[in-house]
Structure 1
Amino acid sequence: MRIYISVDMEGITGLVDVEDVQPGGRDYERGRLMMAEDVNAAVRGALAAGATDITVNDAHGPMRNLLPETLHPAVRLIRGKPKNMGMLEGLGPEHDAVICVGYHARAGALGVLSHSFLGHEIEDMWLDGAPVGEIGLAQAAAAAIGVPVLVLTGDDSACEEMATWDGTVTTVAVKYAKDRFAAELRPAAEARAAIEEAVATRLATPPTRPATVDSRATLTVRWQSASIASMLQGIPGVTATDSRTVQAQGSLPVLYRLFGVWVRLASSLTSQAPYC
């Protein structure tokens, strides 16, 4: 059984602030070790269920957060950027299941460090008219590849978002949002035991692959800046619905990869810090 783990940082056990998740932050070094421990809990669960191959993709920010020496020796780590598929780099139909560790709620939600991909530069996103963030877009792209997302960990707001998007996914809340930069934390040992148990239990039953449908989807993004929306219209297939909102159509995961290009271009046009 081949397992793919995508790891973000805002939804990791114990982390609540920008200083916890941004390189150079006063608690970042502690944060990256906490990140590794949540990953290792998921890996232990996967191994207990019979996994024979585990790929971990460092999917947060610079994508160099996880230190290889802090991870379980069974892991093959994808580290660094740029990556064509970003948070899903390396995922293919040869994998049997996706586990999302440390994920967070979308922009506009009252969740810990909530945002969608690019701090406050992205005000909102929709996939085929439904509000979406990193959670929904990852699940939809993985399903199009033919691999189910089976487990997600994060704060309670992220878990609720996944339940709304795909109620079949097992979720583990490692903290409970009090505000965007505050949470009630589960004890670390308890949270990691819950992650390990959830992964082991869910993978104990052979995963059912989603039926891949090569249909066109529409991704719509509303930006904080009209400048970004204007620049993106230079990309073939991108159209504007108003001065700050653009959309494109295509098959997933091609649309997921295209969105990554939008994010890289938007990043080059702004120096504003995330989470403001």
Structure 2
Amino acid sequence: MRIFISVDMEGITGLVDADDVQPGGRDYERGRTMMAEDVNAAVRGALAAGATGILVNDAHGPMRNLLPEALHPAARLVRGKPKQLGMLEGLTGEYDAALCVGYHSRAGALGVLSHSFMGHEIEDMWLDGRPVGEIGLAHATAAALGVPVVALTGDDAACAEMTEWDASVVTVPVKYARDRFAAELRPAAEARAAIEEAVARALSQDPRRPAPCAAEATLTVRWQSASVAATLLGIPGVTAEDPRTVRASGPLPALYRQFGVWTRVAASLTNQPPYC
């Protein structure tokens, strides 16, 4: 059984603030340790369920957060950027299941460090008319590759978002949002034990391959800046809904890959910190 783990940082045990998750932040180095421990708990759960191959993709920010020497030796690590599939780099139909560790809720949600890919630069996103953030887009893209997402860890808002998207996914709340930069924390040992148990249970349920997806999906993004939207219209297939909202259609995961180009264009134009 081959398992893919996409690990973000905002939904990691104990982390609540930009200083916990951004390079240079006063608690970033501690955050990296906490990130590794949550991932290692997921790896242990996967091994307990019979995993024979585990690939971990560092999916947060610079994508160089996980220290290789801190990762469980049974897992391989994809580190650095750019990556053609971003948060899902390395995922193919050869994997039996995917896990989302340390994920967060989408822009506008009252969740810990909530945003959609780019701090506040992206105001809203929709996939086929359905509100979406990093959780839903990762789930849909994995499904298009034929891989089920079977477990997610993060704060309670992220867990609720995943349950709304797909109630069959096992979720593990490691903290409970009090506001965007505040949470009630589960004790670290308790949270990691819960992650390990939930992953083992989710993978032991013989994950079913997703049903075939529609041949084409439509992704719509409303940006804070009309400049970003106007620039993206130079990409073939991108059309405007209004001065700040663009859309494009195509098959997943190709559409997910194109969205990665959009975010790189936006980053080059805005130069804003993620949580300002």
**What TM-score does the superposition give when structure 2 sets the normalisation length?**
0.99
Structure 2 spans left out of the alignment, 5+ residues: none
Give the Å deviation of 1:212.
2.3
Contact (CA 8 Å) 1:110, 1:180: kept in 2 or not? yes
CA distance in 1, matches of 2:190, 2:274: 30
CA distance in 2, matches of 1:35, 1:109: 22
Q: CA RMSD in A?
A: 0.6
Task: Write the letter of the residue equivalent to 2:39.
Answer: V
1:80-91 to structure 2, matched below 5 A, reads 80-91=80-91
Task: Write the letter of the residue equivalent to 1:224.
Answer: Q
CA distance in 2, matches of 1:213, 1:151: 20
Task: Write the letter of the residue equivalent to 1:248.
Answer: A
Residues 1:65 and 2:65 aligned together: yes
Contact (CA 8 Å) 1:6, 1:87: kept in 2 or not? yes
For residue 25 of structure 1, give the secondary structure of its aligned residue in structure 2. coil
The CA deviation string for residues 217-255 of structure 1, in whole angstroms up to 9 with x for no partner, is 110000000000000000000000000000000011111
Structure 1 runs (4+) greater than 4 angstroms displaced: none
Task: Write the letter of the residue equivalent to 1:180.
Answer: R
Task: Write the letter of the residue equivalent to 1:16.
Answer: V
CA distance in 1, matches of 2:236, 2:162: 32
Structure 1 spans left out of the alignment, 5+ residues: none
Give the Å deviation of 1:214.
4.7
CA distance in 1, matches of 2:86, 2:38: 20
For residue 164 of structure 1, give the secondary structure of its aligned residue in structure 2. helix
Task: Write the letter of the residue equivalent to 1:233.
Answer: L
The CA deviation string for residues 158-213 of structure 1, in whole angstroms up to 9 with x for no partner, is 00000001111000000000000000000000000000000011111221111223
For residue 91 of structure 2, give the secondary structure of its aligned residue in structure 1. coil
- Paired residues in the alignment total 276
CA distance in 2, matches of 1:141, 1:213: 9
**What TM-score does the superposition give when structure 1 sets the normalisation length?**
0.99
Task: Write the letter of the residue equivalent to 2:198.
Answer: A
Q: What's the % identity of the aligned pairs?
A: 78
Give the structure 2 partner of residue 95 of structure 1.
Answer: 95
Contact (CA 8 Å) 1:145, 1:212: kept in 2 or not? no
Give the structure 2 partner of residue 3 of structure 1.
Answer: 3
Task: Write the letter of the residue equivalent to 1:272.
Answer: Q
Give the structure 1 partner of residue 274 of structure 2.
Answer: 274
Give the structure 1 partner of residue 216 of structure 2.
Answer: 216
Give the structure 2 partner of residue 180 of structure 1.
Answer: 180
Give the structure 2 partner of residue 263 of structure 1.
Answer: 263
CA distance in 1, matches of 2:214, 2:15: 38
Contact (CA 8 Å) 1:175, 1:185: kept in 2 or not? yes
Residues 1:110 and 2:110 aligned together: yes
